[in-house]
Structure 1
Amino acid sequence: MARGQQKIQSQQKAAEKKAKLAKQKGSDGKSAAKVALKFSCTVCKTLMPDPKTYRQHFENKHPKSPLPEELKNAPTV
Structure 2
Amino acid sequence: MVGGQQKIQSQQKNAKKQAGQKKKQGHDQKAAAKAALIYTCTVCRTQMPDPKTFKQHFESKHPKTPLPPELADVQA
TM-score of the aligned structures, taking structure 2 as reference length: 0.69
Runs of 4+ in 1 over 3 A off after TM superposition: 12-15
Residue identity in the other structure for 2:41: C
**Alignment map for 1:1-77 (pairs within 5 Å):** 15-23=17-25, 25-26=26-27, 28-76=28-76
Question: Unaligned stretches of 5+ in structure 2?
Answer: none
Structure of greater Rg: 2
Structure 1 unaligned residues grouped into runs of 5+? none
Q: Give percent identity, aligned residues only.
A: 50
Code of the residue aligned with 1:66 in structure 2: it is P
Q: What is the total number of aligned residue pairs between the two structures?
A: 69
Once the two structures are superposed, residues 1-49 of structure 1 have per-residue CA deviations (whole angstroms, 9 ceiling, x without a partner) of: xxxx77x975x556533321122x23x3011112222111001111111
In the alignment, the residues of structure 2 paired with residue 75 and residue 37 of structure 1 have an alpha-carbon distance, to the nearest angstrom, of 19
